[in-house]
Amino acid sequence: MADLFDRQRLGPLKDTVAIVGVGETDYGADYRGADGKAAQKGETRYDSYTLASRALKRALDDAGLKKDDIDGLCTGPTLSSERACELWGMNPRWSGSGDAAQCIIEATMAINCGLCNTVALVYGNAQRSMDTAYGGAWVTGGGITSYFYYAPWGLTSQGALYALFFQRHKLLYGTTEEQLGAIAVAFRKHACLNPNAVMYGRPLTIDDYMNARYVAEPLRLFDYCLINDGGVAIIVRRADMAQDLKQTPVMVSGIGWSEENVDAMQLRPRLKDFYHTAHHGVAAQVYPMAEVTPKDVDVFATYDSFSVHLLASLEGFGFCQEGEGGAFVQDGRIEIGGELPCNTSGGMLSESYMQSWNHQPELVRQLRGGLGERQVQGAEVAQYVHDVAGKCKSIIYTKGG
């Protein structure tokens, strides 16, 4: 009864807000620099606010709006909303913070509550310039405690934790490393169709994947995301104010959120059920709200700090049976032109590691159309899945009229 009641409350929020503008920095060009060579980690070149500012300007231009049209602001956790507003000369009535999916959900709620009409969601991360550590012996703190909880035993990074995740999947279901490699190869193919991707023009074969070194066995180098600088901005606007802007609006048709917090530091959500309890909770919200099913999804994106995320999300949201993710990702099924194109920009493995933010502009552009070789033909429904440390969210976008 509680689930039904929640769905009844979510339903009226369908299509009440729209994405009207998106902007990103030049991931590939910034990574290579003026001399064409990649900047070394710790080589100061950018700062997070500058990157965020560039993305925001591009998103506003994309929408045909001015900064004075913005009365709400959501920032990624790398930014302070107070400092951002000071730098940008903005004074929104409402502000929030979180990952990209969380910010879209928060903006949807704030607009529907009457707190604001047009929200800028902004993220910038100079992680390569700042030599940000996401693992290693020197990691001693952070918002996700599992980064350092197992440090005395040598597990100091998410990569090592997801290696355990995949190892259990192999043991339970017979999933092979070659099957996992199909994900990295597919995403690289997509990046090679995306001139803004860090890995544009650098194809990857399954032999390249299998010959790469292990970082945390059984995960290899190409199972890991990039570390690069970048910024992303997304403009969310009340739907009845979105029809006469520069771009055809993309509707936020479904949202869902569920968490697995019990024993999260002890890895239970990852290793016991691969986040599927949270996946199922979100699926029960997001699909009925959007009035679609997994079979209606034309283009799919998932958080992919590691390739194994895709196996979990495909299984958890019912695109295939649990344990069949390895077989599902083979034979071009997740490539552009396949049954379910996934992470069509190259994702965080091959386009840009923007902690989920870069997936949103790609899905919006796919629904707008006009991406040339990268375009998923006839795309009308797009889904993003976010599952990190037991916290799962999903957004379903649909093509506006």
For 239-293, how does the pLDDT look when each residue is reduced to its tens digit (9 = 90+)?
999 988 999 999 999 999 999 888 776 677 778 889 999 999 999 999 999 999 9
Integer CA distances (angstroms), 187 to 26, 31, 77, 205, in order: 19, 18, 26, 11
Q: What is the pLDDT of residue 310?
A: 97
Is residue 18 within 8 A of residue 367, CB to CB? The reply is no
How far is Cα 349 from Cα 352, in angstroms, rounded to an integer? 7
Catalytic residue among 49, 353, 384, 397: 353
- Where does 55-188 show beta strands of DSSP type E? 72-75, 94-97, 118-125
Domain boundary assignment for the chain:
13-131+228-241
Catalytic residue among 46, 303, 384, 397: 303
13-131+228-241: CATH, from 3.40.47.10, 1.10.1060.10, 3.30.420.40, 3.90.1150.10? 3.40.47.10
Q: Tell whether the model's pLDDT for residue 51 goes beyond 70.
A: yes
Q: What is the pLDDT of residue 1?
A: 44
**Short-list 366, 363, 355, CA closest to 306:** 355
**Short-list 225, 230, 187, 247, CA closest to 63:** 247
Band (pLDDT 50/70/90 cuts) for residue 39 is: low
DSSP 36-48: TSPPPTT-----H
Active site residue 162: no
- pTM to 2 decimals? 0.95
Radius of gyration of the chain (CA): 20
Neighbours of 66 (CB within 10 A): 9
Active site residue 303: yes
Band (pLDDT 50/70/90 cuts) for residue 70 is: very high
DSSP-derived pairing of the beta strands 250-259 and 214-216: unpaired
* Phi, psi torsion values for 231, nearest 5 degrees: -145, 150
| DSSP-derived secondary structure letter, 243 | T
Residue-wise pLDDT tens digits, 109-167: 999 999 999 999 999 999 988 887 777 666 655 555 655 667 677 777 888 889 999 99
Is residue 285 within 8 A of residue 393, CB to CB? The reply is no
Q: What is the pLDDT of residue 37?
A: 67
**Short-list 152, 165, 189, CA closest to 308:** 165
Q: Tell whether the model's pLDDT for residue 210 goes beyond 60.
A: yes
Better-scored residue on pLDDT, 148 or 363 = 363
Percentage of the chain surpassing pLDDT 90? 79
Neighbours of 370 (CB within 10 A): 8
